[in-house]
Amino acid sequence: MQNKLFLKAADICELLEVKQTSAYEIIGNLNKELEEQVLSELAYEVGERYFAIQRTEEGYDYSFYDEDFRLMDGGVYENDEISIEEAAEELLEDEGWTGECIRGAYERSTDVNQIAAVYEKYRENPETAYLGCSMGIIYRDPEDSYYDEAEFAIVKGNIVFGNLMDDVRFYGELALVRGGIEKIHEALPDYKYVPMRDVREVMYPEKMTTEQLAEAMDEIAEAFDPYEYRDNVERGENTVQEVMLDLQSGNIHYYISYLKDIVDEECDMSVRAGVLLERLKAYEPELPKDIEPMVYVNYCEKSDLGNPRCQRLSDLDSKTVEQDKAWYADRNPNTNEPKTTAQMFFTVYYAEKGDQMLHHFKGKIDIGTGNGGIISQLKI
């Protein structure tokens, strides 16, 4: 058996003579050289659905597709005594579809770079760009009439939709087809690329721990906008621990919104952000049995006391107790007031026995007033 993968680029071109009795817009399934000859294949578009028909020895093969070019239905129309247009009209009328028919242009080649150049030429031409164009693959297997000549539009606009093959049985599993999609991606490196489901799935584990999610969020934030990341993250700051506290306390809405923004940017990080978004939506907080209370310093008048901003409550309490004692003892001889004081604003995260998520509350203390550290002042 010899299988070959063909690549195609198709655009929509108007006919001088439009048939009012047929049912849609033909979207690029007709060889240019046919001109006024007998048509051998046609495709129609109506709304967000598609219909394709081609001549065979027995009659006509036809297929109905949804908006993502996934096969909905199809079969063989065993009547070779009528024209392809008449056969299409009957099949479309059976489905209750009516509309207008327009002939299109069709290019074939096994050279992916050549066909990619043709596709970009169509898109850059104002006379054809507004009509819409697509590029895809044709699977060839002359020894199997059922699978032979199957066509899939992989590129639409400036996006390579490898994910269109996710739900296409048999074809989506073929190394030949998968390799063809990768070659299209390589030929159009500046286009947004959405790989197939199994490729996307391995980007992140199916079930991620809190730490894994936090690390992934931190990495994608830095990769998406490294300049903004460096402007907002201070040296020595434990951003992963901060994200973990947010996730464990159920505060995931900000991160969902952030990932959606990256997806909408349609950049090279969009696919990864989309996968991470699905992982985040499925996340269920898990708390270690021996989890210690944590504190996040929102602001401190003496920045050294708030570094690192995220740490164990017991550690920061010890630090503030010592600093309060030292500053309280160092007094101005004229006023008998401490020479140095500072306010600290913070958020405490804690869990009680049996909790599935962290609780949190905000607080403020005065350091240097002789009232001790965080814990003693919270009791007051």
Judged against a pLDDT cut of 80, whether residue 65 lies above it is answered with no
255 and 149 share one domain: no
Q: What angle (nearest 5°) sits at the alpha carbon of residue 172, between those of residues 170 and 174?
A: 70
Contact between 196 and 181 under an 8 Å Cβ cutoff? The reply is yes
Mean pLDDT, residues 283-290 taken together: 86
170 and 217 share one domain: no
Half-sphere CA count of 178, side-chain side, radius 13 A = 12
Q: Has residue 158 been placed in a domain?
A: yes
The two counts, helices (H) then strands (E), for the chain are: 12, 14
21 and 139 share one domain: yes
Query: What tens digit of pLDDT does each residue of 4-39 get?
Result: 344 544 433 222 222 222 223 333 333 333 333 345
pLDDT, position 294: 94
Give the residue with greater pLDDT, 98 vs 282.
282
Non-local CB neighbours of 136 within 8 Å, separated by 6+ positions: 7, 8, 10, 151, 152, 153, 154, 155
298 and 215 share one domain: no
3-class secondary structure per residue, 232-263: HCCCCCCHHHHHHHHHHCCCCHHHHHHHHHHH
Query: What tens digit of pLDDT does each residue of 39-55 get?
Result: 567 777 666 677 788 88
Query: What tens digit of pLDDT does each residue of 107-162 get?
Result: 566 678 888 888 888 788 776 665 567 788 877 776 766 667 777 788 888 888 88
Where does a domain end: 190, 214, 237?
190
Where does a domain end: 227, 252, 281?
281
178 and 207 share one domain: no
48 and 155 share one domain: yes
Judged against a pLDDT cut of 60, whether residue 178 lies above it is answered with yes
In DSSP terms, 43 is beta-bridged to 52
Which range of residues forms the domain containing residue 335? 294-379
Question: CA-CA distance, 272 to 254, in Å (whole number)?
Answer: 18
Tokens standing for residue 95: 């489905």
pLDDT, position 232: 62
Where does a domain end: 281, 308, 330?
281
Query: What tens digit of pLDDT does each residue of 225-237 get?
Result: 877 766 666 544 5
pLDDT band at 364 (very low <50, low <70, confident <90, very high): very high
pLDDT, position 210: 92
Q: Has residue 98 been placed in a domain?
A: yes
Q: Has residue 197 been placed in a domain?
A: no
Contact between 247 and 259 under an 8 Å Cβ cutoff? The reply is no
Q: What is the pTM of this model?
A: 0.55
Q: Has residue 196 been placed in a domain?
A: no
Q: Is 94 helix (H, G, I), strand (E, B) or coil?
A: helix
CA distances from 231 to 227, 235, 285 (A): 6, 10, 30
74 and 138 share one domain: yes
